[in-house]
Structure formats: structure tokens, C-alpha cells
Amino acid sequence: MSSREPESPQQRGALYNVAAAIGPNFVIAILFVLALFAVVITYGGSIKWKEGPILILSGITIGLLGLRTIWGLPSVMRGDPNAGADLRRALLRTLYDWGPLIIVMWMFESLEPYTGIIRKDVFDKQLYELDLRVFGIEPTVWIGRFHHPLLTDWMSITYGLYFITPMTLATILSIRGRRADFTEMVTACVIQMGMGFITHLFVPAGPPRHYAELVNGGFSPPQLHSLTGLMELQQGAFDTADPLRTHSAFPSLHCSLGMLTFIFARRYGDAVFPKHPKLFFRIVTVLVISLWISTVYLRHHWIADCVAGWTLGLTATFLAYQIRKHWPKSGDMLSPTN
């Protein structure tokens, strides 16, 4: 029996070629945008543009476009052959690589206020009782015995780095031209944001710090305090930006992103410090473990939220790896395999 020759692009189906040309992240992003429009049309609402993660991603993309322009412009000015085409290709690749993540984050921030509206019965009581059955005491109450203003500051810092830390690694991968590794990491981020949002819609739940039974005499101390005022500023920003976020605790996307960061820092952290390939992973380990503890210490999440978040992070990372292996390949210059 003769070996089968690889199929040419003409022999493959149209859907295969379209998927290969667009790439996995834009396909997933398009699906989520369609979900956003469907929800907005059904329930009304508005689109958000100025949330922190959207601004961070937009700032990174603009910065990378600027750096690539500065890097390539001297060659263009000297009239080097193909310099203009190379610069345009680099700029298009940057937009292609970062575009899906910006789109999905914009979608997520716009859809988050719908938690607790599509399904109005929240699961706070069930999550509280689950913690009591498993631990005998609510963990966010138990951990209060370790309260200290300096510790609160550290917990607030690591909690706030939940998105900055993975984007630091993604940015370095992009700068160093490791596009396949970058795309895999972005795929995991995109999947976990989408899956997390769907869970938020159907399992709306608030954080322990808003649960009446704990607020009215359950916590000790009743209020956390930080030395610098960072925690108070952070809490105020979260609650002022959108009170309806109190229904988006399950699963914990802070725990999910922490797991994702932990895994990719272990695999690709050498891109940050090439001469000390394990250094970034060691730094991330401290930050991520502190982040996970902070979700309970700062009374943002029930333990079930954290477990669901860790599971989501592992699932998204596994799916991203499988997509990287099996997604149709393209010969287009924008493809991350090129």
C-alpha cells in the first residue's frame, strides 16, 4: 500500500482553509462577539470601552506597534530593499496576534454586568454552606486571625497583578518573536475568559465580603485595613466601577489566570530572563501563590470559586495545547507558525 501524499490547499475543504487563514483566536473571538450581540439584543445594555484590562491590552499593542515602527523606520528611511514591506508585515502581525485578546476582553467586560440578570437566583448561600460542610468554618473568617495591615497591602498588590503578570510574559514572547508560544498562551486566555463568562451567567454568585450573614457580625475583624490604603482604594474601585460584579465570583478568574500564568511561566519563562531561565518562574510562583491566598484573605471568593478557577485554568491550558497541535496550518504570512 502506497503512503498517502499530503493534501494540497486546493484539495482541502473551504472551511479548513478559512480556519487556517483566520487562526484559532480570531475564530473564538468572533464566536464570543456574536454571543455579546445576542445578549445585548435580548436584554439591552451598553458596550464598555474603558475598563482596566482593555486599556492595558490596548496600551501594550500600541506600545509594540510603536517599538516596531521605531526599529524598522531607519531601514525604510535608508531605502533598504524590502524594508517597507517588512515593517508593514511586522505591524500587521502585531495587530493579528493581539487583536483577538483585545476583542475577547472587551466582550467579557461588556457582558459581565449581565451576571445576576439573566439568571436572578444567586448561589451565595449554597457556596457558604459548602465551605462550612467541608472546613467546619468559613475560610474567609478563619484567615482573618492573620490580619495585619502590611499583609493586607501585599495581598492587595498580588491580587491586582492577576492580569499584569501573564501579560508581561505574553509581551516578552511577542517581542522575542516566539509567536507560536505566544499564540498558545493567548488561546488559553481567550478560552478561559469565554468559559468563565458562561459560568458566571448560569451560576451567578457574589463574594463572601458581600454575604449578609458574614457582613453582620461574621467577620473578625469586621473590616480589613491596609497600611497604605491600597486595599481600600482597590475595593472602592471594584465596587464603584460596577456593583453588579458582585455576581461574578464563580469561578474565580483570578485563580484561573493565576494557574494559567503558573503553567506558562514554567514552560516559557526562559523568554524573560534567557540567562536565568528559571528566575521568572520562581518569581511567578511567589506571586501566584500569594494571589490565590489573597482571593480568600481579601474575602473575594469562596473556596469553591477557587477550585473552579483552578480547574478552568487547567482546562483552558490543555485545550490551547491541543489546538496548537491540531489546528489547520496556513502558509499565510500572518500565521503564527511562520
Q: What is the pLDDT of residue 4?
A: 47
Considering 41-50, 106-115, 129-138, 200-209, the range whose residues carry the highest mean pLDDT is 129-138
Range of the domain at 178: 15-326
Domain count, the chain: 1
Distances (CA, A) of 37 to 111, 144, 148, 170, 335: 10, 42, 45, 28, 28
- Residue 38 near residue 110, CB atoms below 8 Å: no
Residue 337 belongs to a domain: no
Range of lowest pLDDT (181-190, 215-224, 261-270, 276-285): 215-224
> Tell me, what DSSP letter sits at residue 220?
S
CB count in 10 Å sphere of residue 172: 18
Supply φ then ψ for residue 188, to 5 degrees.
-65, -40
Average pLDDT rounded to a whole number, residues 241-258: 78
Residue 249 belongs to a domain: yes
The SS3 assignment for 218 reads coil
Residue 3 belongs to a domain: no
pLDDT beyond 50 at 3: no
Q: What is the pLDDT of residue 286?
A: 97
pTM for this model (two decimals): 0.84
pLDDT beyond 70 at 204: yes
pLDDT beyond 70 at 48: no
pLDDT band at residue 230 using 50, 70 and 90 as cut-offs = confident
Helices (H), 23-51: 24-43
Residue 178 belongs to a domain: yes
Query: Based on C-alpha coordinates, what's the Rg of the chain?
Result: 22
Q: What is the pLDDT of residue 303?
A: 96
Residue 4 belongs to a domain: no
Distance from C-alpha of 313 to C-alpha of 7, rounded to nearest angstrom: 35
pLDDT beyond 50 at 50: yes
